[in-house]
Structure 1
Amino acid sequence: MLLFAISYLAGVLTILSPCILPVLPFVFSRAGTSFLRGILPMLAGMALTFALVATLAAVGGSWVVTANEIGRALAVVVLAVLGLSLLSPVVATTVAAPFVALGMRLSPDRETGEVNIGGSLLLGVATGLLWAPCAGPVLGLVLTGAALNGANGQTTLLLAAYATGAATSLALAVLAGGRVLALMKRSLGIGERVRQALGVAVLAGVVAIAFGFDTGALARLSYASTAGIEQSLLQRLGASPPGGQEGRLASEDATAPGYRSILPVEGTLPALDGATTWLNSAPLSASSLRGKVVLVDFWTYSCINCIRTLPYLRAWAEKYREQGLVIIGVHSPEFAFEKKLDNVKAAVDRFGITYPVAVDNDFRIWRAFRNNYWPALYFVDAEGRIRHHQFGEGSYERSEQAIRELLAEAAGGRPAHEEDVTPHASAAEAAPDLAALRSGETYLGYAQATGFTSPQGLGTDQRRDYTIGDLALNTWGLSGTWTTASDHARAEAPDAALAYRFEARDLHLVLGPAPDDGRPVRFRVTLDGDPPGADHGADTDADGYGVISDTRLYQLVRQSGAVRGRRFEIRFLAPGANAYAFTFG
């Protein structure tokens, strides 16, 4: 229930986002009309259409994208007719008959001012089609969850709650606007000019939408203006993570013959038959693992938090294997390149992983666990019951104590008094310097990009020349020729550069060569305009040079002295490099 409340309140906040601007003229075209016949049907149509289109987007598939673009184009035409009919009756009567009828149906009657419920509903449908691609970060979280957990009734209801919240705030705005318009008509007698002004506003909105301004610049402004509010809301009202309560750990002296841990039962180990393939092992099943203590780790190989957890997983696998512990890595990809089996195999070799890895490209195991996190660790007892979990990196001592308790329970003994593992970790696997960390994960594809400041604005699947401009802390920019896709930015010419002003000990960047030819791409990194010297990362030398040979996370900076804010720049010496996301440590 709490998730629905969060979605509804997030929808209410949509009115604060510039992303809603192109929709407002169409909504305010119903200002001053009957609430039941004009405003309510329009908002209901908008909310229902939005929920339907967004649900289809969650299901995925190229046909959905095409259908949405077709519907969007039709909506632009319909609303352009509405704008023309508001602007001039002469123009409206000269338009082809079917469009005239539709446009006039959407407009209030010129003599009586009455509106048609069906026309208002149709206006809402058209507006919902326009609004669907432009909703803010919470919508992105809902759709991401739907993509990972599968489309279901809850997804649609969450989207409907979000749309209802937006409709609520818009209804209040329209009602207030209607009173203002009524006052202007009574006192100044300029009703016709008000109607024409609405027509101009509608047409301006149509032009903005037709040129993609609503899903481009306004969408990016939406992230900047509302993401903080929505994130604060989520943190204040955030629901408990799935998987039950945090497991309590028994003290080491809570022992007796027939020892049983007080770790609560959180669920049952689901079937593991959804993997597309297995590495380092034949396929495993829940039944074949009975009698073993199992640790299931959901990870993906370019995730920095997952990478920093791996040294502990390797150490636990080695230390407790003979006592009956089985660690299973479930590789559930975040980016498309992480679905390629050769990339996953290379990562398993590179990280020295010898325990079984289930390749979960279809997210079937992920959904079976109802998981939502990278990394996520689930601790399963010898009877196949989930007894403890850890979401995110950290809490390694508590996790190891859970392993010892479950092994002791399975053996009928007591947890051993042992030292916790202290694995050696270097390069990107080293723990972060949290005290000095002032920068956070930043995606470079336009679907989730934040902090972009190049004056040209971030293009959407367009080849464009950029200049970097001034950078404040945690902002970034491009120079040279780039094409930005939904999940990455691609350097299209030699000397294309990417700059970021950050404050952290470590800077990582997920990079890869062009997938069509896979040729290595050389690059050079500078800090504040100079070679990094002693501050170079594991994947660069002191002069800042490095090579992109495969698609993975690259450590480009590790500050060797006191951590301070720096201006990072990477310049690609050949075209073809793909850049996905910054992470810091």
Structure 2
Amino acid sequence: MFGAVSWLVTVASGWVVNLTLAGRGLALAFFALVGLSLLSQRVAQRLTSPLVALGNQLNDASSRQRGWIGSLLAGLAVGLLWAPCAGPVLGAILSLGFVHPGQATTGGLLLAYGSGGALMLFLLGWCGAALIARLRRGQAFGERLRRLAGGAMLASVALIASGGDRYLQSAGGLSQALEQRLAARLPQPEQKTSLQPIAAPQPSSAMPSLAGGSAWINSPALTPERLKGKVVLVDFWTRECINCQHTLPYVRDWANKYRAAGLVVIGVHTPEYPWERSLPLLRQAVKDWRITYPVVADNEYAIWNAFGNQYWPAHYIFDARGQLRYTAFGEGDYARQEQVIQQLLQESKA
């Protein structure tokens, strides 16, 4: 019952995250409260005392009722009285659901936790005092583990709120190597434009439309027609994608290095998460990354779908005639991409 109600709350809250950026902040605040309750018994008692009081009232009411109503009230009372123990863990699961709305995953975690709790209650009822005595021997260790988890949770909240998790993620190269191996095994996306060989361009792979963006930064809206005569690199990215953050310095350097030679770089920001749809935050990210080339906010996935794209980051390189000549998905392949840019710039002058 406890897990089912919690899952329903998570499902109902998904629309809140989609409508407002405050959802993430609320989730972090909730996470912080859960961490404090794990660290301090006093905080946990103050947070759960209303539920415990309600549970006592329901328990008293169940003793005055007969039949299935009394049993139902007794079950509700047990769930509420269990809140001081289950609350921190369930709170952590719900917070994950708020930060990254995936109701199926959250529901699975809640189902697993509820099943474990039901199993323990069954064992307690079946084995009685002998099992309780054994469990009490590990109570001190459990309390230390609880406080350690609370400290780790508070540290995680501070790291995420400050944005430090991005720098932590970018510190190692192991994930990059694993992702590239996985990407090599996955099928390439079906492109809505056919890729032409570098050495033999053909007029059958025109640049898709760039219409449908909600706003353009650093430039007025661009069209394939206006870009004729320019070598164009279209970079699909999003603010909080760590792989995109790894590729952005290369894209920025190419834009600055080859702008005078005729290269135009267009950043298509297609949000992966609801809070990445914020235009003010996108403008701030463009400023923080010192991006001077055009960036379009593709909040409705119009440009993404026109290209048939499936990945962040994804690079599409077009020649001066507007024909697609090269693609790169994920990190790496930087030297080859720069060679393609150089070759297409030479072709444009021939």
- In the superposition, the TM-score normalised over structure 2's length comes to 0.47
Q: Which has the higher contact order (CA 8 A, sep 6+)?
A: 2
Report the TM-score when normalising by structure 1.
0.29
**Structure whose residues are more often helix by fraction:** 2
